[in-house]
Amino acid sequence: MIERFIELVKKSPISTEQFINHCIGVYEILKNNNESEEVCNSGLYHSIYGTSYFNVTVQNVHTDREIIRNEIGEYAENLVYQMCTLPDRDNSILRGEFNLDYQKLFDIVKICKANILDISKNKCLDNNLLFTLDKYNILFSYLSRGFNPFDEKNPIDGKIEVFDGLFSYCQLQELYSRVKQSDYKTNHYSNISGQYSNQTARFSSHLNRTKFFEFGLFSYVQKVAKFFNQDIFVNESYIGCYDKSTCSDSHNDTNNPNTITILIYPNMFWEDIWAGDIKFYDEKSNLNKTIDFKPGRILAFDSRLKHKVMPISSLAQTLRFSISIKCCFFSGLSTEISEIIHVPCS
């Protein structure tokens, strides 16, 4: 098979040693993973018609498909054709922007993953390629369990879920202690009566990957993931600190679908008259729902929903803290993220 492939390529304008070695490298990775002969052969020929990244072709996709079918078989050639003709191939596959059945998708993911692994042998992977490889690994994990994440509807679409009682007293006490000891900086100025001032500034403290785990947040995000029966991917997390008269302007966290915001309220005590509730608005900016600020409460909502934190009362005797965790489901992973945390639902 390899000898015949080399013979074909050497008749083309791109009969370079680098191209041939790369294609053989992809084939060998698949072979070592005990993939089927059809998948391995597809890996060997994966760029034979050119791709959206690699415009020079060995064979013409419009006239020479029969030649490749005779070499590797109809199913394998069809996989090659799909990979070569998908626009922006990796993003199309990883965003579900295609119409492939389960088995074809799984086989193409195996080949694309092997393609990046072979590329990584010869050069350092940049952040974009590392992110792409991470997503292929996650998608491969889904598919190997017989689960296609693109078949699932957005479970948080337009919704707000409230979780109470997930913290024991000791757990909440430990979390509150960590929150109080965090370093804060001015985040943005909240708008009161059309004016911005230091008096109404909101403060925040970014939580890096290490702190996310130290704060014990993984287990609580996982409980939310179990509720929705989907893995969750954490993009960013930080603590918000609100003093008297502080609030936020109405805003949404993103316009992207399949994204979810998780809010954790770590305060040990809070009086209703201290206010600080959160309001959600519909598409026409009409008030849709108000949820009280309650110690130990967790909210999960569609990140596209417009919302705002109402001003803290001048009667408040303590700061209002909240932990914001910006997340998404698999199909919401559309941009490069440098510090992604994968939280499985099981």
pTM of the model: 0.78
Question: Confidence band (pLDDT; 50, 70, 90) for 17?
Answer: confident
Nearest Cα to Cα of residue 140 among 100, 101, 98, 111? 111
Domains 2-149 and 160-343 share a fold: no
Question: Confidence band (pLDDT; 50, 70, 90) for 91?
Answer: confident
User: In whole angstroms, how large is the CA radius of gyration of the chain?
Assistant: 26
pLDDT value, residue 243: 86
Structure tokens at 27: 């084939």
Residue-wise pLDDT tens digits, 165-181: 999 999 999 999 999 99
pLDDT value, residue 37: 96
Q: Is the pLDDT of residue 196 over 70?
A: no
How many C-beta atoms surround the C-beta of residue 173 within 10 A?
A: 12
| Stronger pLDDT, 221 or 340, i.e. the higher one | 221
Quickly list DSSP for 45-59.
TTTTT--SS----SS
Structure tokens at 163: 């979780």
Q: Is the pLDDT of residue 3 over 70?
A: yes
Instruction: Name the H helices within the chain.
Output: 2-9, 17-32, 37-44, 65-72, 74-85, 89-94, 102-122, 127-144, 169-180, 209-214, 217-228
Q: Is 221 exposed, middle or buried (0-12, 13-18, 19+ CB in 10 A)?
A: buried
What CATH fold (topology level) applies to the domain 2-149?
A: Hypothetical protein af1432 (1.10.3210)
- Name the one residue in this structure whose structure tokens are 């206010």: 275
Beta bridge pairs of residue 263: 299, 324
| Stronger pLDDT, 49 or 255, i.e. the higher one | 255
pLDDT value, residue 274: 97
pLDDT value, residue 14: 59
pLDDT value, residue 62: 52
| Stronger pLDDT, 160 or 150, i.e. the higher one | 160
How many C-beta atoms surround the C-beta of residue 325 within 10 A?
A: 25
pLDDT value, residue 95: 82
Nearest Cα to Cα of residue 234 among 141, 342, 73, 312? 342
Alpha carbon 154 to chain centroid distance?
Answer: 13
For the segment(s) 160-343, the CATH number from 2.60.120.620, 1.10.3720.10, 3.20.20.70, 3.60.10.10 is 2.60.120.620
Structure tokens at 83: 């990979």
Question: Confidence band (pLDDT; 50, 70, 90) for 87?
Answer: confident
Q: Provide the pairing of β-strand 232-242 with 306-309.
A: unpaired
Tell me if residue 43 falls in helix, strand or coil: helix
In the chain, where the domains are located: 2-149, 160-343
Alpha carbon 200 to chain centroid distance?
Answer: 33
Tell me if residue 181 falls in helix, strand or coil: coil
